[in-house]
Amino acid sequence: MVTIKSKKEIELMKEAGRVTALTHKALEEAIKPGITTAELDKIAEQTMKKYGAVSAEKGYDPGIRGVPPYPASTCISINDEVIHGVPSKRRVVKDGDIVSIDLVALKNGYNGDAARTLMVGNVSKEARRLVEVTRQAFFEGIKYARKGNRLGDISHAIGEYVKSQGYSVVREFEGHGIGKDMHEEPGIPNYGKAGRGIRLEPGMTLAIEPMVIQGKPNILELDDGWTIVTEDGSLAAHYENTILITENAPEILTIL
């Protein structure tokens, strides 16, 4: 069931989104060659706490036999890691890396979800272009995030833009509704046909998140049960925001 948020709920969503954006800002300022992903995760946890929030990701139980609850406050994925990379004291960020950080701030019972792929030091032209295209794919999609349009209009716009740039979208994972729960209905693929799916209504809050691969779309799951990597070792990038459907243009809740 897709939930329509009340005015009060929207205000709470905006506050959770603000904390999410502030946490990303702190991470963007801190990231540099030599820092570990565990150190970045700690910064995120402390920043969320500073603003009265906690990580919705930490302790998340996927309900899959043999896969433990998620152990960290963020997902940090480097280069060929697409999503769900687990922070570690052993994983050191290097010059030239692209680092995708996905985090969800839970405050007063509501969630804000956003992801950024950060470029560290001397990044190659190819990597920079991938990151820029992934970000733009989000904005191509939300051009259609308007009252009366179909959900598939967003998915179609993202997929066609990414394809036009010579890249692939991940098909096994998708965006989602968001509110009291980190993952709510509807699921929002990054590909599909225009004119399909539910009609968009004011009060819907959605996490739109292009996940883009430089090479073929095939992915693999590592033995930790969480980390998703590209099968061919090509680079991947991730860009996400929580948005609100309004009477007019969509409102992005997770940018400052």
Instruction: Let me know: does 70 contact 58? Beta carbons within 8 Å.
Output: yes
Locus of tokens 């820092």: 35
pLDDT (average), residues 129-139: 98
CA angle 181, 185, 191 (to 5 degrees): 125
State residue 133's pLDDT score: 98
Place of tokens 């300022």: 29
Average pLDDT score over the chain: 98
CB 79 within 8 A of CB 98: yes
**Residue 66 — pLDDT band, cuts 50, 70, 90?**
confident
Reported as a single tens digit per residue, the pLDDT across 135-184 is 999 999 999 999 999 999 999 999 999 999 999 999 999 999 999 999 99
Report how far residue 177's alpha carbon sits from residue 242's, in angstroms, rounded to the nearest whole number.
Answer: 9
Taking each helix axis from N to C end, the angle separating 37-50 and 7-30, rounded to the nearest 10 degrees, works out to 140
The CA distance from 76 to 74, in Å, is 6
pLDDT at 8 over 90: yes
What pLDDT sits at residue 173? 98
DSSP SS3 for 229? strand
Residues 65 and 59: their CA atoms lie apart, in Å, by 15
Per-residue pLDDT of 174-229, as tens digits, reads 999 999 999 999 999 999 999 999 999 999 999 999 999 999 999 999 999 999 99
**Higher per-residue pLDDT: 65 or 101:** 101
Structure tokens at 199: 């009609």
Domains belonging to the chain, first-starting first, are: 7-252 (3.90.230.10)
Using the 8-state DSSP alphabet, how is residue 199 labeled?
B
Cis-peptide into 87, omega within 30 deg: no
